Amino acid sequence: MNEKSGERAAVAAGDASHPLGPFPRRPFPRREFIGRAGALAVAWSGAAQAGAPRDEMRRGMLEAIADTTARTAASTGVEAIDPEVMTALDRVPRHEFVPTEIAELAYENRPLPIGHGQTISQPYIVALMTHLLALAPHHRVLEIGTGSGYQAAVLAELVDSVRTIEIVPPLARQAAERLPRLGYDNVEAGLGDGYYGWPEAAPFQAIIVTAAASHVPPPLVAQLAPDGVLVIPVGERFSVQMLLLVRKRADGEVSVRQVLPVRFVPLTGGPR
Ligand SMILES: C[S@@+](CC[C@H](N)C(=O)[O-])C[C@H]1O[C@@H](n2cnc3c(N)ncnc32)[C@H](O)[C@@H]1O
């Protein structure tokens, strides 16, 4: 599975006639609005709030990300993470997004439990997926799988407008409280089934799915803007999945590139 990646054949335009089938009716309320505010108001100052040891730990995390990126370059085609993404990772206080009992582990380059059987992703994976989105400040971004809100905060450092959806109510509520408290007022957090995206806010220049799906959800492809990209792990539950980079061309044609074998918690919801 560790083969070198390359652009794969086009599969289809992402609309209701997608070969994966028409959009199914959903048995779950799509989304309940639970949080929002305006522009990013307060930049978190690591030095002021956490002290030097935490700054050092975060620098260590960035070094580990750079090292893992270099070691996986043959598979991902990514030799180094965009410096703006690295700056975003340097600014986000990851220790605020994990349970206090394990805050001292927050800057290790590994996933950590966040309760309800869910995890905050490994920093390297957050860096790689964010890099693959190739964000510009004006991009509208949708994240599926809010979890702790950490990935949303990283995105919010890079673009003006982020929407994020979580299916587990306590996690959704926690993130909707945490993000504005930390100054991430440009994130709109919703509770619901992210399989169906956020059609009222579409199109998105970038969509990131942080849970493993059995297939690329057609509603997400449909909600991509022309030239938009979708990064998503696809494969069997509780197994190794493949991180895919899906690109929708201006003419609506969709291409898929395999990036890296990964392991994510499953995307629940979707058609049954
Ligand atoms: C690996 S965790 C995400 C980590 C998160 N991005 C962070 O920064 O902490 C995956 C998350 O996806 C959520 N999830 C699973 N299926 C979902 C769905 N259909 N819609 C929205 N969220 C979903 C899980 O509840 C879990 O919180």
The residue type of 252 is G
Strand ranges for the chain from DSSP E: 31-35, 112-115, 118-120, 140-144, 161-166, 187-192, 204-209, 224-234, 241-248, 254-262
Instruction: Supply φ then ψ for residue 47, to 5 degrees.
Output: -60, -45
Tokens encoding 77: 């085609």
Domains of the chain by range and CATH?
31-262 (3.40.50.150)
Distance between CA atoms of 30 and 158, rounded to whole angstroms?
A: 27
- In ligand 1, the atom with minimum distance to the C-alpha of 120 is 9
Of 118, 141, 165, 214, the residue with max ligand 1 atoms within 8 A of its CB, to mutate for a pocket test, comes to 118
pLDDT value of position 18: 22
pLDDT value of position 52: 52
Contact 97, 111 (CB under 8 A): no
Distance between CA atoms of 10 and 218, rounded to whole angstroms?
A: 15
Distance 10 CA to ligand 1 centre (A): 28
Distance 226 CA to ligand 1 centre (A): 26
* 121 classed as catalytic: yes
Q: What lines the ligand 1 site, CB under 6 Å?
A: 118-121, 144-145, 147-148, 150-151, 165-168, 171, 193-195, 210-211, 264-265, 267-269
Per-residue pLDDT of the chain (272 residues; tens, 9 = 90+): 232 333 222 222 221 222 222 222 233 334 444 443 322 222 333 333 445 588 999 999 999 999 999 999 999 999 999 999 999 999 999 999 999 999 999 999 999 999 999 999 999 999 999 999 999 999 999 999 999 999 999 999 999 999 999 999 999 999 999 999 999 999 999 999 999 999 999 999 999 999 999 999 999 999 999 999 999 999 999 899 999 999 999 999 999 999 999 999 999 999 97
pLDDT value of position 35: 44
